[in-house]
Structure 1
Amino acid sequence: MPMFQKMFKGAAVLVVSGSALLAGCGTDMQADTQGEHEEIISNLVEAGFPADDIMVADGQVYVGRDAHVTLDASREMLQTDPHTQEQYRTTNLVSSSISRICIVPNAAFSNNSTLMSALDRAIANYNALGLSFTMQRGGSGCSATISARTMSGAGGSAGFPSGGRPYGIINIGTGTASYGVAVVEHVITHELGHCVGLRHSDYYNRSISCGGAATNEGSAGVGAIHIPNTPTTATRGGSLMNSCFGSSETGNFKSSDVTALQTLY
């Protein structure tokens, strides 16, 4: 079964070309942005991330193909122990004051029927668990909002909670739709998992789900804290939060994912 990154390596190739164009534009704002990106990338490499696992897309730096890293987070990484092997959650979580998280698709997302069907199924995945928060598509009475947007290619990207609020954006590749609703549901549910504080279950060895060389994402400046009553080691197909996914995903949580979320929330 073919395995796919949450954000495809093909996107990284595109980004390298885009970065070269950006560097040649010459405005002060673009130069400042380029300098910040270079420092983040330098910090990530120093913290032990392979260069080919780092990419710049839409003006943001990502590691692990789908985790947004800010400049401050990259600096904090240099002050942490890169050999920490525990897992699953970030240090920051969603506050108990957040009772309703609204997922708001933009126009491009709304116009894709497969993505919209998958989003509804992903929201239902979370609402079935009886967590301290519920999710809904659009609407009012929101304690927090996550914008659902499209990007090119397949896979997705998101970030981690900050200030007690979930990360505010998920990006889902329109190319993912070609694998069917269940696979898109898997990717959306996965990215929403990052938004509420879940790390990759195989963050310490991405080859478990992705194949290839063993790659450790490290603490990524956001923590890698084991959640009680969940496995400390990952297996291929053992968690929806594995780094890579296949073309036959069901889109449903595994038992360890349910335990992790119900323990946290």
Structure 2
Amino acid sequence: MRRIKSLVIATAMAIALTLLSCDKDQVTIPVEESSLVVEKDVLSKITSLHFNPNGIKKVMINDIDGTQKAMYLVEDDIMLSKSQIMDMGLHGGIQNKQYRTNNLVTSTNVIRVVGYTGNNQYGLSATAQTGLQYAVNNYNNENLSIRFILSFGTSWRANDILVYVDNSINPDPNRSAGIAGFPSNGYPFTRVRINNGANLTQTNQQLEHLLAHEIGHCIGLRHTDWNTRKTCGENSNEGVSNNGLVYIPGTAGPGGDPNSIMNACYPANTDGEWSNLDRVALNYLY
């Protein structure tokens, strides 16, 4: 695997460039400001589920299929609809260890992933396509009970995971970003969006890491360092809920796993490969 050499201009910039985050900016689609206020019932439900209520955003998403819908951005890179939030329940209590969502893929054992290649602003670069291939291979190499089938093109089915470029999630070309969501009704979340900062400037291995991470959210995995976000140079707690803080036996727990693909941020020299504990988690769940 090739390593990335960063040009150190100043100490502050060096620190910034060592971490590539799946943090997002608010989608900037012109709508009335009042329509983007997080409703009291949604905020109350999110708080009751022990998610971190700070920084929750309601955003209007222009989907690749031309539709527009309101979604809620929770804990930086998870998109939830209002129905998903309101239908959640706090099952089994709260545990303070490494966790997954309570919603997993149970309605199918074959997951189709489509890398969008349209000749427009949504199309994946050749490097991103390679990174996606690597990411899907890493899942299939684990011989899980779910199997991923990858294709590239401009058509997809209702329950496919469509991977494409959406620069509105973070229009800064110098900053990598990706976004996904949680499973529902037994099927994976169906959209993985990356911005052009990732699509055009990241390496195969960085995109392999980013896309494996976002697909991990689609099948029910949460950030390994949820309780500190220390891989992002932070000391903050994302909050917990039945949809996330369910301990995966044999994994790191609160101490975290510095090499996990599912950490909130990753180093520029990532090789994009699972850590040993990532493999434990995947093979336990699937």
Show the counterpart of 1:3.
19
Change (3 A) 1:258 1:143: farther
Task: Tell me whether 1:189 sits opposite 2:212 in the alignment.
Answer: yes
Identify which of 89, 94, 107 aligns with 2:100.
89
Q: Whole-Å Cα distance in 1 between the matches of residues 101 and 186 of structure 2? A: 12
Show the counterpart of 2:251.
230
Give 2:115's aligned amino acid.
Answer: P
Give 2:231's aligned amino acid.
Answer: S
TM-score after normalising by structure 2: 0.74
Q: Whole-Å Cα distance in 2 between the matches of residues 52 and 247 of structure 1? A: 26
Structure with the higher fraction of residues in helix conformation: 1
Show the counterpart of 2:112.
102
Q: Which moved more, 1:210-219 or 1:81-90?
A: 81-90
Task: Tell me whether 1:52 sits opposite 2:74 in the alignment.
Answer: no
Structure 2: give runs of 5+ residues left out of the alignment.
1-14, 62-69, 171-175
Task: Tell me whether 1:259 sits opposite 2:280 in the alignment.
Answer: yes
Q: Deviations over 1:153-200 (max 9, x none)?
A: 422111111111111111122211413111111010001111111111
Contact 1:40 1:75 in 2 (8 A): yes
Aligned length: 247
1:49 is displaced (CA, Å) by 2.4
Root mean square deviation of aligned Cα:
3.1
Q: Whole-Å Cα distance in 1 between the matches of residues 21 and 97 of structure 2? A: 22
Contact 2:72 2:81 in 1 (8 A): yes
1:44 is displaced (CA, Å) by 4.2
Give 1:255's aligned amino acid.
Answer: N
1:137 is displaced (CA, Å) by 1.4
TM-score after normalising by structure 1: 0.79
Percent identity of equivalent pairs: 27
Q: Which moved more, 1:187-196 or 1:231-240?
A: 231-240
Q: Whole-Å Cα distance in 2 between the matches of residues 127 and 99 of structure 1? A: 12
Structure 1: give runs of 5+ residues left out of the alignment.
25-30
